[in-house]
């Protein structure tokens, strides 16, 4: 691929810019460095201190033939302290230039940290704009549990494509940012790809434009706040279909050619699942929905990327569609404050599967609960798993945040609440939690306090035994 000019910094000024980035900033220092990491209990270097991001504008130019990404990220943020410097998370890729408030800024790289030193200190409360031009071949990152995230090439013809996914920290492989779920922002993601390819991301497709040079530009807009790990960028020769749910929510599905027939049944029920979930959990928190079905084997998991979950191959069961769509309420709209709160994502989504079964003539949630207590794999094949191996609110390390207890014991915590307070109070709690924390972040402590206040019940035994207890509950 031809080396393209910087999208917002004129190419003739590149040499001058590189010289300026090594210059010293004069004048007295009014701020102090922002922290390089938010001390998350499992990913202490994820995210950065001293600022909050309001908006990301990502301009991504990708050619699957050579795997090269040329990109510009424009980040609008607010300083929470006086800043002499601040950090962005970025793994791999070469930084070509950085500016802050329109002025060239010094920068340096150490590992996954891009440290930026503005020409002038930023004042507390100041809204600032940082622009990063960067490129190269994005990395695929191995999680602590062995799964892959980041930027992952996918198979197919013409030469494949790629998917960008980020749970928990993989988004730093394809754009610089404050990559921790506690810092949510709105997004505009523009993807430019060769003719013959579709480019799919989160939110609403604002435009699809022929650039006149054998490429197509897709402009996507996400008006609701989104944690960066929920952002996605997918490129490939996908079949796109659109529609509406009965409630009028736009549906946008993109399916790899080899997965179209196998996906039809599960995706045909997506509008029905959406309507059911709205009845159980309250109004849908976004303006669009849909699914992205990758070539089979692209990933080893499905992911609740905001408004448009990603599936690796056709969803084998409708339960998986229910799970990922339930995340739009629990995990996407109500996002965790830290990765220690992962059970609030997965426990709710797993319990949604049990509720779907209960409401559609299958096993009841009570039957699932008792199956896990007794190890009855006839009801659920995972009932024989080590679902009680650790407290769901306290996984022993980052490699366990997607472990069985987070999903199944997390769901059992919710059912224990239901047993204690009754159906009316329980479903009022679920809908209230989704509504009162809509588009925000919440911790386990927030949930336990909210549950007791909302229901008026003392739930200490549930927390002590099921949520935090180290022994197997009985």
Contacts of 296 (CB under 8 A, 6+ apart): 256, 258, 259, 312, 313, 314
Say what the pLDDT of residue 145 is: 82
* Beta strand segments in 264-380, E: 288-294, 310-312, 334-336
Contact 146, 117 (CB under 8 A): no
Contact 231, 176 (CB under 8 A): no
Nearest CA-CA partner of 310 in 254, 350, 270: 254
Long-range CB pairs of 426-429 (<8 Å, 24+ gap) are 426/455, 427/280, 428/454, 428/455, 429/454, 429/455
Say what the pLDDT of residue 399 is: 95
Please identify every stretch of the chain with a pLDDT value under 70, giving residue numbers as ranges: 1-29
pTM value > 0.85: yes
Say what the pLDDT of residue 159 is: 87
Say what the pLDDT of residue 144 is: 82
Distance CA 94, CA 119 (A): 21
Say what the pLDDT of residue 30 is: 73
Bridging pattern class, strands 288-294 and 310-312: parallel
Say what the pLDDT of residue 474 is: 87
Contact 91, 10 (CB under 8 A): no
Say what the pLDDT of residue 96 is: 98
Contact 111, 74 (CB under 8 A): no
- What count of other Cβ atoms lies within 10 Å of the Cβ of residue 386? 13
Distance CA 118, CA 79 (A): 12
């Amino acid at each position: 691929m031809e080396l393209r000019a910087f999208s917002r910094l004129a190419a003739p000024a590149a040499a001058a810019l590189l010289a300026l980035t090594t210059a010293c900033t004069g004048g007295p220092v009014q701020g102090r460095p922002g922290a390089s990491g938010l001390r998350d209990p499992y990913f202490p270097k994820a995210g950065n201190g001293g600022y909050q991001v309001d908006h990301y504008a990502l301009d991504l130019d990708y050619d699957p033939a050579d795997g090269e990404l040329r990109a510009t990220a424009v980040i609008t943020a607010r300083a929470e302290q006086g800043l002499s410097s601040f950090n962005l998370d970025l793994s791999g890729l070469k930084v070509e230039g950085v500016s802050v408030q329109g002025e060239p800024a010094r920068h340096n790289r150490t590992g996954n940290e891009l440290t930026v030193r503005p020409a002038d200190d930023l004042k507390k409360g100041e809204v600032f704009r940082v622009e990063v031009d960067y490129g190269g071949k994005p990395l695929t990152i191995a999680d602590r549990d062995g799964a892959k995230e980041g930027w992952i090439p996918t198979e197919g013809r013409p030469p494949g494509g790629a998917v960008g996914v980020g749970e928990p920290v993989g988004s730093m492989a394809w754009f610089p940012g404050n990559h921790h779920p506690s810092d949510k922002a709105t997004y505009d993601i523009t993807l430019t790809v060769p003719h013959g390819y579709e480019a799919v991301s989160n939110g609403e497709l604002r435009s699809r434009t022929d650039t006149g040079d054998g490429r197509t530009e897709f402009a996507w807009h996400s008006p609701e706040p989104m944690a960066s790990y929920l952002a996605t960028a997918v490129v490939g020769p996908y079949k796109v279909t659109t529609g509406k749910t009965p409630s009028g929510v736009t549906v946008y599905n993109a399916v790899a050619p080899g997965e179209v027939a196998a996906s039809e049944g599960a995706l045909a029920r997506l509008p029905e699942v959406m309507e059911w979930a709205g009845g159980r959990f309250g109004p849908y928190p976004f303006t669009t929905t849909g699914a992205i079905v990758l070539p089979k084997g692209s990933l080893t998991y499905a992911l609740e990327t905001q408004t448009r979950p990603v599936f690796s191959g056709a969803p084998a069961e409708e339960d998986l569609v229910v799970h990922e769509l339930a995340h739009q309420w629990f995990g996407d709209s109500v996002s965790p404050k830290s990765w220690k709160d992962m059970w609030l994502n997965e426990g709710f989504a797993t319990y949604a599967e049990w509720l779907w079964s209960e409401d559609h003539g299958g096993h009841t949630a009570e039957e699932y609960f008792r199956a896990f207590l007794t190890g009855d794999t006839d009801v659920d094949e995972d009932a024989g798993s080590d679902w009680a191996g650790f407290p769901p609110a306290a996984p022993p390390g980052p490699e366990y945040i997607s472990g069985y207890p987070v999903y199944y014991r997390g769901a059992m915590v919710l059912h224990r609440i239901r047993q204690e307070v009754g159906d009316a109070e329980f479903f009022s709690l679920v809908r209230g939690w989704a509504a009162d924390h809509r588009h925000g972040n919440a911790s386990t402590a927030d949930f336990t306090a909210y549950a007791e206040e909302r229901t008026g019940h003392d739930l200490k035994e549930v927390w002590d035994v099921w949520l935090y207890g180290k022994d197997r509950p009985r």
